[in-house]
Amino acid sequence: MDRRFSIPVVLGILLFWQPLCSQARVFHDALGRKVTLASVPTRIVSLAPSITEMVYFLGLEGKLVGVTRFSSFPKEAQKKPKVGIYTRINIEKVVSLDPELVIATVDGNRREDVEMLEEIGIPVYVINPRTVSQILETLKRLGEVCGVSERSEGLARALNERVSRVERLVRNKGKPLVLLVVNMRPLMSVNSKTIHHNLIQLAGGRNMTGDQAHTYPKLNIEEVIKRQPDVIIVSSMKRGGGYETARKEWYDYPTVPAVREGRVHLMDSDLIDRPAPRIVRGLEEMARLIHPEAEWNER
């Protein structure tokens, strides 16, 4: 080959490809996996309701082309095309939406679904927030991946300020023993491996079942009476009259401090069950229930 032509040709090819290559961005997800994106994604599929909430919170709903079935917040998300439930993803549906990025979660999505999407050539970024601080960090990371870093930094900072305010107001207020009821029949609570445990701690309480071996331990009323919780918070996906009835049923046990002092409360489970931005609001409400004596009107 004539070297007089080969070098200019090679240089020309490199110059042609350089702009394309420079657009590619590499990220590492919560599992340490390398995720390469050719450019800022304009078509995103969410594989969990909590992820859908994050995408909307970041103002990226216009790029969201697919969600899972129980993505109920905000209401507009219910109109998006569905790709199955987060524990069982319809791969064919995801592919048909031609996404440039799929966002998945360790807590619920099947590993084989993630691997299958990657084999097809669809980038999958996996998140795994387990605490409130990790949720805020995840929010920032998603902002970077989706090309809205400045926006996500500001939003995460504002949420973090609210968390810090709660911590400041409950500091030195004592640590009431808290029973968080996440299921009524059978009676179930949470141990230290849950985000609920982290919320109770941040809100200035002690988780009555934090030391249990099972993530969602089953309880009997005799054990509750023995442990003497100061506060009982009923958080259940069950709605309607049964929800209020579950609270009133506790008043059959007046020897429990929480019952005797009228400190049996209801909470919207959506605010504390999903690792999404609304969890900060859930933290604020829980802290008010645990420490009503704190100066919540302070600015």
pLDDT by residue (tens digit) across 40-97? 999 999 999 999 999 999 999 999 999 999 999 999 999 999 999 989 999 999 999 9
CA 156 to chain centre: 13
**143's tokens:** 């902002």
**203's tokens:** 């809100």
Poorest-pLDDT segment among 134-138, 143-147, 183-187: 183-187
Q: What is the CA radius of gyration of the chain?
A: 24
Q: How far apart are CA 49 and CA 67, in angstroms?
A: 7
Residues 121 and 163 reside in one and the same domain: no
Q: How far apart are CA 46 and CA 52, in angstroms?
A: 6
Residues 215 and 253 reside in one and the same domain: yes
Is residue 212, in this structure, part of any structural domain at all? yes
Residues 171 and 89 reside in one and the same domain: no
Residues 124 and 161 reside in one and the same domain: no
Residue-wise pLDDT tens digits, 164-188: 999 999 999 999 999 999 988 899 9
- Of 123, 198, 129, 136, nearest to 162 by C-alpha is 136
**210's tokens:** 């934090």
Residues 89 and 46 reside in one and the same domain: yes
Residues 173 and 274 reside in one and the same domain: yes
User: 24 — phi, psi (to 5°)?
Assistant: -65, 135
Burial class (CB in 10 A: 0-12, 13-18, 19+), 134: middle
Residues 211 and 257 reside in one and the same domain: yes
Residue-wise pLDDT tens digits, 183-231: 888 999 999 999 999 999 999 999 999 999 999 999 999 999 999 999 9
Residues 123 and 184 reside in one and the same domain: no
> In the chain, how long is the greatest CA-to-CA distance?
96
Residues 163 and 285 reside in one and the same domain: yes
Is residue 114, in this structure, part of any structural domain at all? yes
CATH at residue 94: 3.40.50.1980
Residues 187 and 281 reside in one and the same domain: yes
| Strand duo 44-46 + 101-105: pairing | parallel
Residues 181 and 254 reside in one and the same domain: yes
Q: How far apart are CA 30 and CA 165, in angstroms?
A: 28
Q: Please give the residue range of the domain that contains residue 207.
A: 157-290
Q: How many domains does the chain have?
A: 2
Residues 87 and 177 reside in one and the same domain: no
Is residue 85, in this structure, part of any structural domain at all? yes
